Structure 1
């Protein structure tokens, strides 16, 4: 295989010997192609190396247990934070996937010793780790690894290239639209190649966290390399961080092909090269004119066939699931959002079998929108199924909003949406199962709160902070959650936090700083004053809620309970009272204070107070908060009196009251309160 990596070759000279050996050897399952960035290194036995080692145990396990064979994780804090992601080819089994990624960590540290940024590609998986945000990285000439078989075909080059182009484009479209793993394979007849194996085999893949439109665009970019680098080559592949494809004259993937294309006619010519790609030189004018005529005939026919296939598939899908397509559900008008929803559709029969037909013994909890059940899929993956009430119109609006937003998000501190079912009047959402339920069920339980020692609580604080920073600043979308609270933070088996429930979330433009609504929604006690009083919300509204959460986690006290103090009536007032009196240690959770670092707990209380300031301009961004939490050298400014910090004598003038029912969501006097655990949904255009 010959490698081309324009613009980045100087960074990878250390791996030249390894690459040369890979070129000279025949293609094996263990073939590897490293990419090492030698511009930034770490030292032996450093924190960065320890963080890589920690990821080497979690990533292989996570990727092998993932339904999509994809995993992302982050360990540590700046400047030693390590982000890692792994993706396996969509046709291999979970065990082989985990083994491949585990080998990636071993090989990366041998092939790219002490490099902070490294990637290792194999036939069946790839692994990359970096101290940068690799989820938002894009493909391009500088990012993709281009590998080509050195042997040329012995058949007409134009016909062969045309067949390859049609095959790879077909698998790319399948991967983008029809596969939850963003993976497609295909085979195409080509009898003149080899009588013993008269076919071309192709495969395309994107990362599963990408939308269909992003996947299609990514593959379209690198498919332009076919006429640029692979003219007449027997096999080739392009390995990018976000998408990849491969074609060969022999079957290299397992299982049957997902697509089977007929053999092209001998007279077919290749698709024209894009404007920015120089096509291979052609002969005289008559040959060129003949090619143009063939293109004029062949391309419309191919396009018509592909369009017919897509239309027939969608018509069949509509007929097989008529209830899921009812217009009354009011799907978003945005085509990309609709395609994202389609890729998550699950069968009702699957979820009924997983939950034993929603048996009462599998019930995990119940809220204002319906009941949540535990389920087990056929591959033994545990899930949580939210069954929305059939009579709840608010449930439909929340479901629609949650689908469009959560389906596009991928972060270890955000709960993963696995699928949706809209059949027979059912409205079902399937999430990854969180065995330790929500934070409030442990934090405020006198019998269980001791399970959360300070190490766990500090990890929970950091995890929530990173999840919010991703929503506000690091993801491709800019999202305001608007209902961050302890019951919307779920805990996995190792008590890692995951933010959930995006039914009230709002999407902001990249340059949008705030918005105003006439109906205030959310949960009393967590809402910022400018939002509760005037309907003005921004990313600072979520930071305010996060500040309340920090104070709850350190003190072990609910913010919505009245406290019998001489001056304080709520948690913010109570914390401020002790802060000003210098007795803040007295209100820290007694179940952990005797064996915990008091200075770290005090810093968290300080940060929590900075996040609940009355003026949004005084509230820090989440990126600043994460730096405060991770750094021991950053000096913190003195906090002012927090918002909603009221004296007992002021209660009659506050327009608020103490919530006697923990966990109940309320609005301000601007809009009606919502019963049970329901947050009122805004019915406003988006």
Structure 2
């Protein structure tokens, strides 16, 4: 561009100079003395040879005046052609460089949102006009699909950490020192798209020690990816009901997990504006880091308290954790990630379903949604920690029973309560603390929502039961065995 401007400057300057010279010559040739002037001497006759020279001079002046215009036009065309070639060459090399960076997978943070990932707003507007993104204030980045695919060994089975309602969670190694968890959501169903959008919208705005951190997301065709911090000790469900059967969780460790969970819920209910109702609190959605700090995860079903038509939202949850007010006069559709057939059921008696399947309730009616539904689910989790049982256990060949129905008569009987506690922690706690935790659990799972406490009250009840070093206020005094003097 600079070369082209320089050419124009030279051409225009040359044109002005020659033009001025031609005009001056023409003016000089046009000067003459009038014939009628008294002082004018007689004009001598001009020889024909001189006249020929004069006419030749005028012709040469006209030709000289015309030549620069043709010359300028030719040079302008030449310069434009050269400039076009330069621009095309520049564009070719730029495209080659961009393609090379694109394939390498080494992308800077400012370029992450331009390669292989669609911004959430673009994806939502393309997928459903009724869904709008609220992620303007979020700081979550769009990540490269090829990078995540490579980091998970092409989403290999060996990297699977868990299976959820809409997909699998994989372990991804971004480099030698950084590992993350990648949740893969396949399919473009309306429910899957809505849960993906809700997850990104909420977690991009929430920061709390007891809530999982969302690092990024990616949309690639029909595949949607969510990238989280890696929780090395997996879920509470795996710790309680997996191969270790709760052996890694002491009494105080379990109370710390309950306290962390209550703190996360209190933040959602009391500190978020508007408040957030999780709607799918369960042991598999409580994740544990390397120090067994608990964090809430899976916000796909979460609802903001100020959301429009909140009371008309289709009620969803997981079998065993759903509050009874959701189930009254409801038609329950039980869906597993493996496509298990749907069926009708009562609130606490259900067909025999394999435990390995992830089950979610989708209820075909609407009702009033409050934060007390989260409190009920928290009470079920507290019973899991206390008793070591699943939220739904097999009752007979074709029926199951909820932990609430089974435990409620015994939780209020102090003579029976110690006998139903998880054998791993039985007789390892102060009985007074055991009775207090059981009382909190009973209040949380009350059938009537108004009888359930606020999560803040639950939190204040648990703090004195957790040692100071684990985040509570309990001070444990080590008693030394008495020494008797032998005679």
Q: TM-score, normalised by structure 2?
A: 0.59
Structure (1 or 2) with the greater helix fraction? 2
Do the aligned partners of 1:366 and 1:372 also contact (CA within 8 Å) in 2? Answer: yes
CA distance in 1, matches of 2:227, 2:422: 35
Unpaired stretches in structure 1, ≥5 consecutive residues: 1-315, 633-686
1:592 alignment partner in structure 2: 425
SS in 1 for 2:440: helix
Do the aligned partners of 1:530 and 1:537 also contact (CA within 8 Å) in 2? Answer: no
1:555 alignment partner in structure 2: 387
CA distance in 1, matches of 2:181, 2:262: 24
2:157 alignment partner in structure 1: 360
CA distance in 2, matches of 1:322, 1:376: 19
1:495 aligns with 2:328: no
SS in 1 for 2:172: strand
1:506 aligns with 2:303: yes
Unpaired stretches in structure 2, ≥5 consecutive residues: 1-110, 329-365, 466-487
The alpha-carbon distance between structure 1 residues 453 and 623, as it changes in their structure 2 partners (threshold 3 A), is same
Aligned residues between the structures: 311
1:468 alignment partner in structure 2: 265
After superposition, residues 175-574 of structure 1 pair within 5 angstroms as 321=116, 324=119, 325-326=122-123, 327-330=125-128, 337-340=134-137, 343-378=140-175, 380-445=177-242, 447-509=244-306, 515-517=310-312, 519-533=314-328, 535-562=367-394, 569-574=401-406
The alpha-carbon distance between structure 1 residues 572 and 322, as it changes in their structure 2 partners (threshold 3 A), is closer
SS in 2 for 1:451: coil
The alpha-carbon distance between structure 1 residues 618 and 340, as it changes in their structure 2 partners (threshold 3 A), is same
CA distance in 1, matches of 2:190, 2:131: 19
The alpha-carbon distance between structure 1 residues 356 and 340, as it changes in their structure 2 partners (threshold 3 A), is farther
Do the aligned partners of 1:520 and 1:532 also contact (CA within 8 Å) in 2? Answer: no
CA distance in 1, matches of 2:214, 2:385: 26
Which residue, out of 454, 457, 462, partners 1:629? 462
User: Per-residue displacement from partner, 1:475-514 (whole Å, max 9, x unpaired)?
Assistant: 334100001011111111111111110000000139x9x9
SS in 2 for 1:596: coil
- Greater Rg by CA: 2
CA RMSD of aligned residues (A): 2.8
Q: CA deviation at 1:456?
A: 0.8
SS in 2 for 1:364: strand
Do the aligned partners of 1:340 and 1:404 also contact (CA within 8 Å) in 2? Answer: no
Greater relative contact order (Cα < 8 A, sep 6+): 2
Q: CA deviation at 1:631?
A: 4.0
Which residue, out of 446, 452, 475, partners 1:619? 452
2:409 alignment partner in structure 1: 577
SS in 2 for 1:502: coil
Do the aligned partners of 1:369 and 1:392 also contact (CA within 8 Å) in 2? Answer: no
SS in 2 for 1:552: helix
CA distance in 2, matches of 1:616, 1:433: 35
CA distance in 1, matches of 2:129, 2:231: 28
SS in 1 for 2:216: strand
SS in 2 for 1:450: coil
SS in 1 for 2:146: helix
Do the aligned partners of 1:563 and 1:574 also contact (CA within 8 Å) in 2? Answer: no
Which residue, out of 601, 611, 624, partners 2:434? 601
Q: Which moved more, 1:444-453 or 1:337-346?
A: 337-346
Q: TM-score, normalised by structure 1?
A: 0.42
CA distance in 2, matches of 1:317, 1:386: 19
